[in-house]
Amino acid sequence: MTSTNKGWRVTFAGLGINLALGVLYAWSIFKGEITSSIGAGGPFTWDPSAANDPYALCCLVFSFSMILAGKVQDRFGPRLTAMIGGVLVGSGMVWASLSTAYFSWLLGFGVLAGMGMGFGYAAATPPALKWFPASKTGLVAGIVVAGFGLAPVYIAPLATWLIAGWGLAGAMKFLGMAFIIVVGGLAILLVNPPAGYIPANPAASSATKAPLPGPSGSILIQGRFWVLWITYFIAAGAGLMVIGSVAEMAKKSMGEYAFVVVACMAVGNAGGRIVAGLISDRIGRKATLAIMLGCQALLMFLGMSLIGADVSALLLVLLATGIGFNYGTNLSLFPSFTKDLWGLRSFGTNYGLLFTAWGVGGFALSRISQMLQTSTGTFAASFLTAGILLLGGLVLTVFGLARKT
């Protein structure tokens, strides 16, 4: 088997692992069952303003576990790291299925599944990037992480079907055990290139640059790192707050078919990762990021005027798909920024540090969104907040990343 074929095998194994771990983006299906039970004599007796907490905590734990997972990946390789991830996600889903208690879901879905996602995600991208030249960084990263975004296309209808037949607990248990098996099997295919391997390097795009020298710890004292961190916080948090509640938003106009919106948003999410990777390989990461932030802000302001109104299901699907697309670009652009600026030697650790912005943004804005929705009865305030923050991120990108990247 040629090195290129091995590289693509690793790439698609990583995509497959992320297809399982992307259960995070189907949270709104699980949340719908929980919120419909609250106050209706059902088994869930949580505070309504806390209904998004397991999801928000999962985002936070996911991101910070990437630091440890990145170190494990850099030292012990992707195979073991991914296997740990599969076991943790599966165990967390099963743990959550055993109780309706608030703290049980925080531990199961929030902590255990969140850690598992961090380990699996940290293991999927680095080995794939090492098999290919810099000119394919955006494309390869986009393909691998597309699996995470695309996951709700099958998880949303599958979870809906499982819940209808087995209840929420049965669905969580089934998915948890399945993920342990699937991720463990695919992890065997994750391998790094042999020592001294240098990928064939066709004419590099003018949009890509040689990585800056320096040990991994040095990125924390670079202004460019913090500009990227704040921008990632805004861009990821804005998207995650919509993703976490999209099924609830869609129930008014789509009823039991609200999962279709979740699936369509997932298609946009996955497509954004691949398209952004291709475009950024040609016009640069900074320009692509600026375009995404501007478009996402416009969609948030549009969403503010549509949510709560009597809109057609088609318009809601288009809005969700567009927001998912723009959100998905982040998961391709920021790992590509990391490789371009600091190389692959400590990629797992470096991207783990930057990825904490994704988790803090998801935790903070998802929590704020749920509180605003509970107090106002509408998602309009959440969309307005996200739109303003995204415009701030656009300004920071344009003026904070002075040199073309």
Give the Cα separation of 173 and 190 in Å (integer). Answer: 26
Q: What is the pLDDT of residue 123?
A: 92
Q: How far apart are CA 289 and CA 209, in angstroms?
A: 16
Residue 340: name the closest of 404, 266, 270, 254 by CA: 404
Is residue 403 very low, low, confident or very high in pLDDT (cuts 50, 70, 90)?
Answer: low
| Whether pLDDT at 209 is above 80 | no
pLDDT tens per residue across span 105-121: 999 999 999 999 999 98
Reported as a single tens digit per residue, the pLDDT across 291-311 is 999 999 999 999 887 765 566
The domain locations on the chain are 8-193+216-400
For 114-118, 226-230, 267-271, which range has the lowest pLDDT when averaged over its residues? 267-271
Q: pLDDT tens, 129-165?
A: 888 887 888 888 888 988 887 888 888 889 889 999 9
Q: Tens digits of per-residue pLDDT, 365-386?
A: 888 887 887 787 777 888 898 9
Residues 396, 400, 402, 405, CA torsion sign: negative
* pTM higher than the cut 0.85: no
Q: Which residues of 9-21 are buried (b: 16+ CB within 10 A; e: fewer)?
A: bbbbbbbbbbbbb
The DSSP-derived string for 266-333 is HHHHHHHHHHHHHHHHHH-HHHHHHHHHHHHHHHHHHHHHHTTS---HHHHHHHHHHHHHHHHHHHHH
Q: Which CATH class is domain 8-193+216-400?
A: mainly alpha
| Predicted confidence (pLDDT) per residue in 276-285, tens digit | 988 998 999 9
Q: What is the pLDDT of residues 324-357, one digit of tens each?
A: 999 999 988 998 898 888 887 778 788 889 989 9
| pLDDT score of 394 more than 50 | yes
